Amino acid sequence: MLTALLALVAAALFAAVPTASARTAAAPTATLTEITGFGTNPSNLQMYLYVPDNVTAHPAVVVAVHYCTGSGPAMYNGTEWARLADTYGFVVVYPSVTRSSKCFDVSSPQALKRGGGSDPVGIKSMIDWTVRTYSADTTRIYATGISSGAMMTNVLLGDYPDVFAAGAAFSGVPFGCFATTDGSEWNSACSGGTITRTPQQWGDLVRAAYPGYTGTRPRMQVWHGTEDDVLRYPNFGEEIKQWTNVLGVSQTPAATDTPQSGWTRTRYGATGDRAPVEAISLQGVGHNLYANGMAARALTFFGLDRSGPAPQPQPGACKVTATTSAWSTGLTASVTLTNTGTTPINGWQLAFTLPTGQTITNGWGATYSPSSGAVTATNATYNGTIAPNASVSIGYQANHGGNSAAPGAFKLNGTACTAS
C-alpha cells in the first residue's frame, strides 16, 4: 500500500527474535520477543513484545502498530517506544501483519465492528495476554501507529473504547473512511481525501462499532503533513471532526500554538497536555512525517511521562562544554549542549549562573533571562528537540568587570549536566 518510512524498513533487517509461548509466565526483558499462542487470532497476526528490565508493577501498555510494508520488529527498531519503556517502565506490544501486503485490515466490515474478527480481534488478544501476564493496569492501555498503523489506531479506539485510554495516529484517516465491501484493502476516495462527512456522521460511524456503549471514550492525538500524497491532508480535518464529535467537545480549538517551527498544534476541549483531542499539522511535510522525538510527545499526551512536557534527562544524561573569548570589557561565550541519554529531549531550559560582573547583551540559539546572575536559556523553535547523542550550539555576548570566565555548572530541565 505504501512506500512509507524507508528508513524504518531498512531497520527491519533485524537479528533473530526469541520466541516465547503463551505458557511462558513472562517474556525475557530488554529484548524483543515473539509471543505465540496468545489467544484468538483470526487473521494470523504475529505478536512481538518488549518488556524493560525495570518494568513497573501493574505497568501501562502501549500498542505500537506498524505501517504498510513494515513489521513489528521494524517498528521496534525504527521508533523510540522501547527506549521510552526503558525510562518509564511500561510494556510495548508490536503487532505484525503476515498477509502479503503487510497492511492492517482497516477496511472490512469485520474489522470495523467490535469482536467482528480480523486484525482488531487479534490485537485485543495480545492486550489480554499482556494484562494477564504482567497484571497490567487496564486503565492505562494506549495505541499508536504510523500510516496503516495510524488507521488501525483509529479503528482500535472505535472498536474497543472500553480498552484504550488514548491513541496517537501519525498520518492516518478517520475510523470507517477506508471501508470497503468487496474485499479490497484500498479505498482511493479516502486516500485521496475526497470523503467528507459531518462531525455527526463521522461520530456515528465510531459509535456503530460498539452499539449501546455509553462509557468513557479514549482521547485522540492526530498528526498529518500538509503535503501528504498517500493519505491526503483533508483526512486530518476529517479526523478532527470525528473525534471531537465522539468526545463531545467543540470543533473550535481551546488552544493553538507552535511547539516547533512549521508545526501548528490545536487542542480541543481543554488547553493542557492531555486535552480530549490534540492535532498537530506539519507544514510542507509529506506522508513520511514520523521522526525521532514525536513518540515522546505522544507519551506526554498519554500522560505516561509523569513529568510534564517531555521525558526529562536523568543524572549524567547531558554534557555541556562552554568556552569564552574575551577582550577588555566584553566576551563571547560558546556553549554546546549534548544529549548523552537514550531518549530524545523535547523542549529544554539550560540554567547556569554567570560570574559576578557579567551581563548578557545579546545571544543566539536560545532566549536568555535574566541577563545576569542565575540565567535560564530556553530553546529556540528550531532546536527544541535533541536526539540521543546529538548536540545543539548556542552562545551569547556579555560585558564583564574583569572576570571573563565561562559558567562552571549547568542544569538541563532541572537536572545537573556534566560540564567540561
pLDDT of residue 101: 92
pLDDT of residue 329: 93
pLDDT of residue 418: 86
pLDDT of residue 306: 66
Under a CB-based contact definition with an 8 Å cutoff, are residues 89 and 54 in contact? yes
114-139 b/e (C-beta count within 10 Å ≥ 16 → b): beebbbbbbbbbbbbbbbebbebbee
pLDDT of residue 296: 94
Instruction: List phi, psi (to 5°) of 125.
Output: -65, -40
* H, E, C per residue of 51-80: CCCCCCCCCCEEEEECCCCCCHHHHHHHCC
Which residue is it, cell 476541549?
A: 269
pLDDT of residue 381: 80
Instruction: List phi, psi (to 5°) of 54.
Output: -100, 35
- List the catalytic residue out of 43, 96, 107, 147: 147
- Nearest-CA neighbor of 338 among 358, 353, 318? 318
DSSP 409: -
Q: What string of pLDDT tens digits covers the 420 residues of the chain? A: 444 444 444 444 344 577 765 444 589 999 999 999 999 999 999 999 999 999 999 999 999 999 999 999 999 999 999 999 999 999 999 999 999 999 999 999 999 999 999 999 999 999 999 999 999 999 999 999 999 999 999 999 999 999 999 999 999 999 999 999 998 999 999 999 999 999 999 999 999 999 999 888 999 999 999 999 999 999 999 999 999 999 999 999 999 999 999 999 999 998 889 999 999 999 999 999 999 999 999 999 999 986 433 333 444 478 999 999 999 999 999 999 998 877 778 778 888 999 999 999 999 999 998 999 988 888 888 888 888 889 999 999 999 999 999 999 998 876 788 887
Would residue 325 show up in a list of annotated catalytic residues for this protein?
A: no
- Nearest-CA neighbor of 130 among 76, 59, 82, 66? 59
pLDDT of residue 343: 72
Under a CB-based contact definition with an 8 Å cutoff, are residues 69 and 9 in contact? yes
| pLDDT single digits (tens) 19-59 | 765 444 589 999 999 999 999 999 999 999 999 999 999 99
pLDDT of residue 347: 78
pLDDT of residue 140: 94
